[in-house]
Amino acid sequence: MATKREVIEREEVVIRFSGDSGDGMQLTGTLFSDSAALFGNDLVTFPDYPSEIRAPHGTVGGVSGFQVHLGHTEIRTPGDYADVLVAMNPAALKANARWLKPGATVILDSDSFDEKGLGKAGYTIDPIEEEKLNDYNIIRVPITTLTRQALDGLGLDMKSVLRSKNMFALGMVYWLFARPLDHTIKYFENKFKKRPLVVEANRRVLQAGYNYAETIEALTPTYMVSPAEIPKGTYRNINGNVATAWGFIAAAEKAGLQLFIGSYPITPATGILEELSLRKEFGVKSFQAEDEIAGICTALGASFAGSLAVTSTSGPGLALKSEAIGLAVMTELPIVIVDVQRGGPSTGLPTKTEQADLMQALYGRNGECPVVVIAASTPSNCFHYAFQAAKIALEHMTPVLLMSDGFLANGSEPWRIPSSKDLPSIKPPIVKEGHENFQPYARDPESLARLWAIPGTKGLEHRIGGLEKDALKGSVSHDPLNHEKMVRTREEKVQRVANYIPKQEIEGDQTGDLLVIGWGGTYGHLITAVNEMRKEGYRVGLMHLHYIKPLPENIETLLGRFKKKVVCELNLGQMAGYLRMKFQDHHYHQVNKVQGLPFTVVELIEAFSKILNED
């Protein structure tokens, strides 16, 4: 009975589930997040897993984690440090001990803390001693043994029994946060409709964990995190990759075009190809190509044929696609290239996040090769920016590079579902049969977009290609002045997109001492840090860039409103370099991190304070 339960009201709390990569931590974390979302909390999640599918069992390299930050207030980041850590083995403790808040609660599966397990994790003395966790709320639970007992007599094989021990941990955490189990049980009932034994096993273990937590006194107090006050509407959880895929489906529907994706699987972008492969009911043609180059070239072929064409990749794949992006620039065909950035260079850190592809996106091609570059900044706004990327590509007849990253791709958050009728229209410059004096490179005088004559349209037969084009007819031209005219026109066409995008806005103080400048997936951490600074009386604003090429036309004015500027990125300063080139009259401080990890709010505040206190 929980009558004497001590309850602590919390604005927000961070929980990290951690175990071997085969321990089902991603599922455990996802189920917990879904329950929290249904309860009405705002939340942000962040899965953190190794690139090996099954790294050596029990080693630190094989630890898979899932962090969820939930709150009564608006939540922007998955949280820096955890209030509660579930560690299914010693390696999980080793990997996460430094990410604990002082005095945090740690639930350990004591069965796995034997000599063998400790050895694999590299512990020589008592891990609690070694990690200096003596003052923490350490709860040692023989999870493996208790799971086995809970399933006694059910007739399950040992492998299946061990596989359900993550549900014991989840049950305990549900009790800790006073959450009902129904949603999770319903999940298993749906997932294993034809395997009632599996449903029963998971239900029993989940309940056993819940009951166990209630019985032992060590777990009190429990945390109470009330529902958040967020705008009215219908909500769902969504991660960045799914949101990106749906943004393209929405754009295809609005443009009245077929959606084609040509892609090659690559971490962490694969989810986009997978999601679109599932969406045949929307007529999506998904093509898993033989390589990255074929991914973009099939998409370009589909664009030529009149589809909304998309290719998705990560840094190494973007490198392979460069030549074909040049072809898209030259042929002025619409295409969206999604780069879900990961740690580089080369194979780098495939499952870790980074923002080091910016220069590659802007300039990584031969010749003067301008493309529009846009970056999403939260898992859910990947939908909006994918939609915008497609709209710009189609209406301006240009390739658009949409930048995402591993943090956005895999992270999820509640999303207020938009209505299709509220999305803007998309009007590509398609030419119809009967168009008089058609010239393939004739342009709209405002946007400079060329006309799009699609094969199958009578009377508009024409040829395009990678050789320099005559400025009007599109036939091959080696004329020096024509080349210069075309180089300048292609650049100008991309620059004119600035006339069609929203002005840059600043969040927080509109003028003041420090302007924080960021782009991409660091938004949540930056805005949280800026808000914290403002609470402490500093005059700080955040300029988070979504349109990178072209930049909105009011950037320079905004820069002038602050005494100091700091550009924060998960690279060595690529955006800072870009801004220095564009707006040379300003001095830019930098905060950079390249650990394959997001910023922490704590380190940002520290860095900002230091900059503000300098002369």
* List 5, 10, 27, 38, residue binding other proteins (CB under 8 A): 38
CB closer to other proteins out of 381 and 522: 381
Of the candidate residues 63, 87, 318, 327, the single one contacting other proteins (CB under 8 A): 327
- Asked if residue 432 binds other proteins (CB under 8 A), the reply is no
Compute the distance between CA of residue 206 and CA of residue 220 in angstroms, rounded to an integer. Answer: 19
In the complex with other proteins, the residue whose CB is nearer, 56 or 465, is: 465
* DSSP states along 372-393: EEEE--STTHHHHHHHHHHHHH
Q: Quick one: DSSP state of residue 420?
A: G
Q: Considering only CA atoms, which of 108, 8, 122 is closest in space to residue 58?
A: 122
Is 260 a residue that touches other proteins (CB under 8 A)? yes
Nearer to other proteins, 137 or 258 (CB): 258
Please report whether residue 193 would count as binding other proteins according to CB under 8 A. Answer: no
Site size for other proteins (CB under 8 A): 69
Regarding 28 and contact with other proteins (CB under 8 A), the answer is no
Q: Which is nearer to other proteins, 295 or 596 (CB)?
A: 295
Q: How far is the CB of 505 from other proteins (least distance, A)?
A: 25
**Quick one: tokens of 82?**
């955890």
Q: Rounded CA gap, 270 and 275, in Å?
A: 9
Segment (H or E) for 401? strand 399-405
Which phi and psi (to 5°) does residue 346 adopt? 50, -140
Binding residue (CB under 8 A) for other proteins from 11, 114, 461, 536: 461
467 near other proteins, rule: CB under 8 A = yes
Pick from 155, 456, 480, 537 the residue near other proteins by CB under 8 A. 456
Residue 426 CA to residue 391 CA, distance in Å, equals: 6
Instruction: Report the distance separating Cα 295 and Cα 320, nearest Å.
Output: 10
DSSP codes, 407-437: HHHH-EEEEEPPPGGGSPP----BPPTT-TT
Phi, psi angle pair for 106, to nearest 5°? -125, 120
Segment lying near other proteins (by CB under 8 A), choices 116-124, 135-143, 165-173, 321-329: 321-329
Instruction: Please report whether residue 478 would count as binding other proteins according to CB under 8 A.
Output: no
Nearer to other proteins, 253 or 491 (CB): 253
The answer to whether the beta carbons of residues 310 and 299 sit under 8 Å apart is yes
Cα–Cα dist 392/501, whole Å: 9
Pick from 301, 348, 573, 577 the residue near other proteins by CB under 8 A.
301
Contact with other proteins (CB under 8 A): which of 466, 552, 573, 577?
466
Query: Distance (Å, rounded) from C-alpha 47 to C-alpha 24?
Result: 12
175 vs 264 by CB, closer to other proteins: 264
Q: Does 283 bind other proteins (CB under 8 A)?
A: yes
Is 285 a residue that touches other proteins (CB under 8 A)?
yes
199-207, 280-288, 354-362, 536-544 -> range binding other proteins (CB under 8 A): 280-288
Measured distance CA(360)–CA(365) in Å, rounded: 8
By CB under 8 A, tell whether 538 contacts other proteins. no
- Of 33 and 351, the one with the shorter C-beta distance to other proteins is 33
* Segment 483 to 522, residues that bind other proteins, using CB under 8 A: none
**Selected range binding other proteins among 35-43, 110-118, 119-127, 577-585, rule: CB under 8 A:** 35-43
For residue 576, state whether it binds other proteins (rule: CB under 8 A): no
Distance, CA of 167 to CA of 207 (rounded, Å):
9
Q: CA-based Rg of the chain, rounded to a whole angstrom?
A: 26
**How far is the C-alpha of 466 from the C-alpha of 300, rounded, in Å?**
12
Residue 312 CB neighbours (<10 A) = 34
- Whole-number minimum distance, CB 294 to other proteins, in Å? 4
Closest CB 353 distance from other proteins, rounded Å: 25
Smallest Cα–Cα separation from 247: which of 417, 21, 447, 76? 417
Write down the residue that tokens 């955490």 correspond to. 173
Please choose, out of 2-10, 322-330, 526-534, 539-547, the segment that lies near other proteins by the rule CB under 8 A. 322-330
Contacts of 253 (CB under 8 A, 6+ apart): 282, 420
For residue 328, give the nearest of 397, 245, 391, 257 by alpha carbon. 397
Amino acid at residue number 86: V
Q: How far is the CB of 283 from other proteins (least distance, A)?
A: 6
470 binds other proteins (CB under 8 A): no
Is residue 337 a contact residue for other proteins (CB under 8 A)?
no
**Residue 258 sits in the site that holds other proteins (CB under 8 A):** yes
Cβ(517)–Cβ(543) below 8 Å = yes
The whole-angstrom separation of Cα 19 and Cα 89 is: 6
User: Min. distance of Cβ 237 from other proteins in angstroms?
Assistant: 7
Beta bridge partners of 100: 82
Among the listed residues 297, 318, 340, 558, the single contact to other proteins using CB under 8 A:
297
- For other proteins, the binding residues in 196-255 under the rule CB under 8 A are 230-237, 246, 249-250, 253
Residues in contact with other proteins by CB under 8 A are 34, 37-38, 40, 230-237, 246, 249-250, 253, 258, 260, 262, 279-285, 287, 289-291, 293-294, 297-307, 309, 323-324, 326-327, 331, 416-420, 455-467, 475-476
